[in-house]
Amino acid sequence: MSARTGLRLAGRRVVITGASGGIGFEAAKRFAREGAKVALIARSQPGLAEAVRQVERDGGQARALVADVADRPALEAAIAQAADWLGGIDVVVPNAGVAGYGPFDELSPADFDRTVAVTFTGAVDTVRAALPHLGRSGGTVVATVSIASKVPLPLLSPYVAAKHALRGCLGSLRIELRQRGSKVRVCMVHPGPIDTPYYAHATSATGTQPKPLRSTYSPESVAQALVECAVRPRAEVTVGSAAAALAVMSAVARPLSDLVLSTYGVWGAKTTSPSPRPGALWRASGQGRVRGGHGSRPSLWAALRLRTLRGLRTGRS
C-alpha cells in the first residue's frame, strides 16, 4: 500500500515499544491514522496482534515484533527487522515500562533491578539501536518518560530512579546531537497519572495493586502528545496540569511537596485488590487494552501546550 497523502505523517516509518496495551497501543493507532507505517515491539503476542488488527482495520500498515526490551540481543534484532520492513526509521518511540510497587526496603533486589532494566536500560538500548537509522533519515526520538522523572513518588522507587535516569540520559543525548550538528531531534513526553492497565499488572511487594493518584488523565491524551511531538518536535511536554503543578511544587517548595507525597501520595495509591503474581515485571501482560478502569479525563494542559485540540479527541479508541 502506498503512503496515504494529506496526512501529517504520511509515509513516515515509526517504531514503538510497549505497544501491546495502554499508551503504546493507542499510540500505534494514532500514528497510523496520521499516515505512518508502524512497527510494534512488545512481549505480548496477543496484544500486538490486536494492535496490528486495529491499525489495518483503519487502513494502516503495521507489523508485530515480539521481544523483551530488557533482552538486548532480542531488542536489537527486533529493531533491525523493523528497519528492514519499514525501509528505515524516521521516529522511534521508547514507551515500554514496568514497575515494582511497594516500600523500598520491602522490594526484592530482583524486582528493583528488573524495573530499571526494562524502564531505563530498555529505553536506552532502543534509542541506541535506532540512532544510526535516525541519523540517516534526520529522524526523531519521542520517548514516553514520566512526571516521575521530576518528582520522587513514594512506593515506586525503582520506577522513579529509572525515569530520572532516562530523562537525564536523553537530555545529555540531545545536547551531544546538537553539538555535532545532527538533525536528529529528541523529545520527551511526561505523563502524570494515566488510566491504563499498568496498575493492575504491577508487581507488588505489598500483595495489593496500586492505583493512580487523582487527577487521572486519559491514555489518548498521552498518545496524541507523542504524535504531536513527532509532527513538530518539542524538547519536553507534560500531560496533566496536576502533574505539572506537582513538578513545580517539588522544585520550588520541597517541604510542601514532601508533605503531600508522604500523606496523600501514599494512601491515595493504595487499594485492597490483590496483585497478580509474578506481575508484569516478569510476565507479558498486554492484551490490547488501553484503559485501566480508573476513570480519566483529557489533558487540556497538554492540548494547549501542543497548540492543538487533537489531544482532547478520545472517541476513536
Catalytic residues: 159
DSSP 173-192: HHHHHHHTT---EEEEEEE-
E strand or H helix that includes residue 55:
helix 45-57
Decide if 209 contacts 200 (C-beta within 8 A): yes
Count of Cβ atoms closer than 10 Å to residue 240 Cβ:
28
Residues contacting 177, CB < 8 A, separation 6+: 184, 185, 186
Cα–Cα distance, 84 to 39 (Å, whole number):
10
As given in the structure block, the three cell numbers for residue 97 are: 515500562
Write out the three cell numbers for 121: 536500560
**Using alpha carbons only, how large is the chain's radius of gyration in Å?**
18
Judge contact between 303 and 39, C-beta under 8 A. no
- CA proximity to 203, closest of 291, 118, 288: 118
Residues 6+ apart with CB under 8 A from 263: none
CB count within 10 Å of CB 88 equals 14
Torsion-angle region of 23 (φ positive above 0: left; ψ -120 to 50: alpha; else: beta): alpha
